[in-house]
Amino acid sequence: MTVAHRLPACPSCHGRLWEQVATSPFGRAAAEDLAEHAAWTEADHAGAARFVQGAFFALLIGPLLWLVPAAAAFGLYELFR
């Protein structure tokens, strides 16, 4: 099986973990640690959503900040020419 981003649910228990925490060589995570990780992941998603909204807003408003003065300057140039 090849997975690029995230493992699917365990076929035997349909859970998120594929091995027993008590016998895992990668650490001894307690249930509190898993809950803390889930809370951190939710906070990370919220931060990423705010970043994407800010970037979209900047890409929308940024060109207007340059186009409005340029149009005004061009209009004044044409008026006084």
pLDDT of residue 49: 87
pLDDT of residue 11: 77
pLDDT of residue 46: 81
pLDDT of residue 27: 61
pLDDT of residue 61: 93
pLDDT of residue 69: 93
For the chain, 81 residues long, the average pLDDT of each consecutive 10-residue run is 65 73 62 67 81 93 92 95 87
Q: What is the DSSP string of the chain?
A: ---SS-----TTT-SS-SS-GGG-TT----HHHHHHHHHHHHHHHHHHHHHHHHHHHHHHHHHHHHHHHHHHHHHHHHHH-
pLDDT of residue 2: 57
